[in-house]
Amino acid sequence: VVPSCLLLALMLLAPALSARQERGLIFNLDIGELCLQSAQCKSGCCHRVSGLSLARCAPKAAEFQECSPKSIYGVYYKCPCESGLTCDVDKTIVGSITNSDFGACRDPQD
């Protein structure tokens, strides 16, 4: 016998899990949609303006824009760089803990 709450959860998650290529309720979220982790966003960046604001999917940072290095937290105050760019930042232990190590996106080829 399956508990009713588990059955309800499976029924709610089934459409989101079966539509991997399309936008879902939990993953493949578009820019501007609410998120909890960057893995949920098509762009790969779940961004919040402040500690009290709601996080939303945002585009990754372009060259010369402010950025955060990839972190384990999954929510950023500054998005990581687009593919092929690196976030040129002075990392500190305090900045890593508080998610406040910001830099600028640079092309490593330059």
Strand partners, 56: 34, 47
* Predicted confidence (pLDDT) per residue in 64-76, tens digit: 999 998 887 799 9
Residue spans per domain, the chain: 25-106
* Predicted confidence (pLDDT) per residue in 27-60, tens digit: 999 999 999 999 999 999 999 999 899 999 999 9
- The CATH superfamily assigned to 25-106 is Lipase, subunit A (2.10.80.10)
The three-point CA angle 43-49-55 to 5° equals 50
